[in-house]
Structure 1
Amino acid sequence: MSEKAPATDVEVQHNEVVEPAHPLRKVEHVLNADLAVALSTGPQLKAFSGSAFRLYLILLVCFMGSLSFGFDTTVISGVNGMVQFTDYFGIGGGDTGGGQGIVTAMLYSIFSFGCILATFVGGPISDRFGRRGGMFIASIIIFAGVAVVTAAQSRIYLFFGRFLIGFGSALNASASPAYVAEISPPQWRGRIGGLSNTFSYLGSVICSGLVIATGRINSDVSWRLPCAVQFIPTVILAVGVWFIPESPRWLMSVGRKEEARDVLAKYHGNGDANTLLVLLELRELETSIGTGSDKGWRDFFDYSELFNSRAARYRTFVTTWLGICSQLSGGGLFYYITVLFDLAGVKTQNGRLTFSFISVAIGALGGLTGAFTVDRIGRRTLWFWGTVGCSLTLALAAVFTATLESGAAIAFLIIFGFVQNMTY
């Protein structure tokens, strides 16, 4: 559509009355002209309305998956920094910040292996059973994994539990972000998506603070207790998904158009199903996915749509490249953060765990900064300059660690965490 088209298209039928064109008020970073018109003509969901507060509670349930993920990624690096944990499983390295050998590498990588396997079934499961069903199945698998890790008596149980947690986390990563994006009003979508990641950082902060406290316990309770706390957000997610509405996009995909319209009206149109925004979203859903419900299992596992056109191949490339960059941005080093602090000159277990907590807390502030600035400066701009910042701060941390400049090394490790969380 050209830039002049919206001037005439604004005169649309609304509540069966032809409305005159409204002057566009400023709508930042909205590239779709029709959406810009819809957002400028209203009514929209009001931030302090009853429907908005119900939406916040819905999102809070979904964010439990992110909180659990953040808790898990931090708990394993935290307990790896405990002598009680490394001695119990015969890993070694407890006196130098934590395990660093092949057993530790397997402990971390088995989680990623579970994630990789789950990516092939995560999308089909959430498409077949709905976003709520996908989140529920994921939470049950995570619950089982947490139980196995918490009760582990040997490495094999530890590895198996970590695999289950990784598998369940990836299933949730397919269902939960999709649900959050589809239930969120378009004008809030960027910030809400950022807040979803921020709950991951919140889980990390809670966990790293807990690990400092339990690290003083001179028994296996020191690491079993923080592992067990992960039950809490997992249970909230498993129960809470049955008290929230299904995604309007999924409802439309299975032929439940009226329910999709009701959800959009309630949470996007301030209760009015005839707002221009709701009508536009319904039209776009019908155009992109149709209203059929005749899909078989083979259709859910059909990935040809990712490659069957030039535009599809481009989108697939961009999202894949973003994932690769995210994984190569240095975030994985935080599994070994206590070891890095030992190399930087922090020689006590409590000191390393304390600096880990500080690093995680400042990283969470970075996540919040990214969440609340992404809609203003744009996603590509934040991604580009954030990646440059990650490269510089990580390089400086490596230089100062190698030259035994402990204060500077610690500072740049913490700054890197801030920039990395803000960007990815």
Structure 2
Amino acid sequence: MAKHEVFSRTFLTSIFLGIGGFLYGYDSGIITPSLALRSFNQYFGNPDPSLRGAIVSIYQAGAWFGSASVGLTSDRFGRRKAILFGCIWGVVGGAIMAGAAHVAMLVLGRLLVGFAVGTITGVAPVYAAEIAKTHERARLTAVNQMMVAWGFFIALWTGVGEGKWNNPNQWRLGFAIQGVPALLLAAGVLFLNESPRWLLLKGRTEEAEIAFRNYHYSHAEDDEWCRSEFALMQANIAEEVRTQHQLSWGHLLKTPAFRRRLFVGSFVWAAAMLAGISFVQYFQTAIYATLQYNESQQLLISGLYGTVGPIACIASLFFVDRVPRKAILVSSSALLSLCFLIITVIAAVFPAQPGMPTNAAAQRGLIACIFAVSANYSALLGPMTWIIPPEVFTTELRAKANAIVQVIHYSISLIITQCSPIALAAVGWKYYIMFIATNALCAVVFFVAYPETKGKSLEEIADIFGDVDTVHTCDIETVKEKATVKTDEYRRSRESLA
């Protein structure tokens, strides 16, 4: 059997693919300090809450369109080329934002960058899940959340640096940096091996076997494991193609088992957006402003906030493959509900009003709870959003279904980001009550309706949903033996032709 390596080729590949997650985190984060800079607000005519919401949410609209395109580009051209397609728009969008002469250019740039992120994040977790061994799949896909957190960290501290740079164009620097990770990912992704599962789906067996071995073969003792695992994968995908070939988008809704898969994959992202994390990320400086902190203090606290996520995400890599998925989901949502309850009580009992004395201890307590929200999300619920959707769908459906999942993700995020500044201005702390309720509800749904997928291969997970007869429902050793014989015959015929 192949050895368990901490820094396996697949793990290092997932780190590189995580540049897409970094881009997501950076693009999401850089707007936060920008909205706190006087130079930015003066240049764009001091946008009101509605326009501020639009500047933020247009990014989610772009991501919506990007993720919607993934089901077509990823299935037709492959995982790598779909990522490259997204990267191109990331570079263009970043350049337009950096050179924005008016709000329309800024909004267009945000739209294109969002399209890029929606495309990349719709493909990269699928790619990572398809190349991973069962025991490391959660860790490989959770890398995306870690990279998102690092992107957000760099963005917020870039904002701190911009705040200390006495220049009327200080806000352009952060926008210009957006193109760098997109360029790096575009330059390197075509040097990676394509997903073996996608290649098998397209009937390119020889390329698939080479790609599989390039990812998993390190020592002579790996040979038997690679032979049997590849043969088993080949047999399972052949069964999928036989039973599910040429499935349309409509089949995801018509078939009960597919609907259940879609619910499981989609609800985890809906729960993440309704957790309040995007609201906190984008509008934390507005929250700090209500606590009467000045611009410099707002930027500094947001920078410290951005430090929490990467630390929590790194910690999650050590347990995410060991703890049941369901336990993580239920505990995370329950704790998030508790955090927002405390935030609401503090904000209600100790309101910060202009010109009035404030309770310093209450301010620090509220900020600590906001930091706790970030730590909880980054270590628990956040990684699950990248792990669960790619693993619950079959190879035939994975790209299409994940596209729908990401559309739902960005649709909810768009609504939250557009409405939050308006709601915060209108009702203040009462807006937080919504997140108490949504997180509590999500904890109940996770407990009642979610299956456990920890420790199961992508093919074995099909047994949970019962929508395809996988080879795992038969005598597994017999199937491996038969499939390995077929693989040996294929290899001998290939050698004779050579």
Fold-level similarity (TM above 0.5): yes
Superposed CA offset, 1:88-113 (max 9, x none): 10125xxxxxxx60110101111111
Superposition pairs of residues 2-401 of structure 1, within 5 angstroms: 42-44=1-3, 46-47=5-6, 52=8, 54-92=9-47, 101-270=49-218, 272=222, 274-275=224-225, 276-289=228-241, 302-333=248-279, 334-345=281-292, 347-401=293-347
Q: Which amino acid aligns with 1:158?
A: L
- Report the AA paired with residue 146 of structure 1: G
Tell whether the 8 Å contact from 1:363 to 1:421 is kept in structure 2 after alignment: yes
Deviation of residue 291 (structure 1)? 12
Q: Quick check: 1:45–1:270 contact (8 Å CA) kept in 2?
A: no
Q: Does 1:407 align with 2:364?
A: yes
The verdict on how the C-alpha distance between 1:291 and 1:144 changes in structure 2, with shifts beyond 3 A counting, is farther
1:363–1:418 Cα contact (<8 Å) kept:
yes
- 1:63–1:111: structure 2 CA closer, same or farther, 3 Å change rule? same
User: For residues 112 and 240 of structure 2, what CA distance do their matches in structure 1 show?
Assistant: 34
Contact 1:185 1:267 in 2 (8 A): no
Tell me, yes or no, if the aligned pair for 2:66 and 2:115 is still in contact at 8 Å.
yes
Amino acid at match of 2:210: D
Q: What amino acid is aligned across from residue 101 of structure 1 in structure 2?
A: P
Contact conserved, 1:182 with 1:249, CA < 8 A, in 2? yes
Question: Contact (CA 8 Å) 1:111, 1:163: kept in 2 or not?
Answer: yes
Distance 1:303 1:190 in 2: 27
Alpha carbons 1:193, 1:371 under 8 Å: kept: no
Distance 2:175 2:157 in 1: 13
Contact 2:288 2:298 in 1 (8 A): yes
Structure 2 distance, partners of 1:373, 1:82, is: 39
Q: 1:47 to 1:406 in 2, by over 3 A?
A: closer
Preserved contact between residue 389 and residue 419 of structure 1 (Cα < 8 Å): yes
Query: Shift of residue 172 of structure 1?
Result: 0.8
Q: For residue 376 of structure 1, give the secondary structure of its aligned residue in structure 2.
A: coil
> For each residue in 1:65-104, what CA deviation from the matched residue of structure 2 results, as whole angstroms up to 9, or x when unmatched?
1111111111011111111111110125xxxxxxx60110
CA distance in 2: counterparts of 1:131 and 1:174, whole angstroms:
10
Tell me if structure 1 keeps the 8 A contact 2:135–2:321: no
Instruction: Report % sequence identity.
Output: 26
State how far apart, in whole Å, the 2-side matches of 1:65 and 1:43 are: 28
Cα distance change on mapping 1:303 and 1:81 into 2, 3 Å:
same
Name whichever of 276-285 and 220-229 sits farther off: 276-285
Query: Are the counterparts in 2 of residues 149 and 227 from structure 1 also a CA contact under 8 Å?
Result: yes
Q: Does 225-234 or 130-139 show the bigger shift?
A: 225-234
SS at structure 2 position matched to 1:372: coil
Asked if the contact 2:11/2:140 (under 8 Å) is kept, the reply is no
Higher relative contact order (CA 8 A, sep 6+): 2
- The 3-state SS of whatever aligns with 1:235 is helix
The AA in structure 1 aligned to 2:145 is N
Q: Which moved more, 1:260-269 or 1:313-322?
A: 260-269
Consecutive unaligned residues in structure 1, runs of 5 or more = 1-41, 93-99
SS at match of 1:377: coil
| Cα distance in structure 2, aligned partners of 1:178 and 1:233 | 20
Deviation string 1:258-310 (CA, Å, 9 cap, x unpaired) is 21122223323546454233332232222224699xx9xxx59x312313422
Pair 1:417 & 2:374 matched:
yes
Q: Which amino acid aligns with 1:359?
A: Y
Q: Following TM superposition, where does structure 1 have runs of at least 4 consecutive aligned residues deviating by more than 6 angstroms?
A: none
Separation in 1, partners of 2:218, 2:235? 18
Equivalent pair of 1:152/1:158 in contact (CA under 8 Å): yes
Q: Counterpart of 2:318 in 1: which secondary structure? A: helix
* Aligned-partner Cα distance in 2 for 1:290–1:222: 58
How does the TM-score come out when normalised to structure 1? 0.81
Equivalent residue letter for 1:410: I
* Alpha-carbon separation, structure 1, partners of 2:120 and 2:194: 15
Q: String of CA shifts for 1:184-237, please: whole Å, max 9, x gaps.
A: 222111111111210110111112112111112233431110111112111111
SS at match of 1:244: coil
Gaps of 5+ in 2: 352-361, 383-498
Q: Contact 2:19–2:185 (CA<8 Å) still a contact in 1?
A: yes
Rounded to whole Å, the distance in 2 between the matches of 1:290 and 1:177 is: 25
What's the CA shift for 1:45? 5.7
Q: Which residue identity lines up with residue 155 of structure 1 in the other structure?
A: V
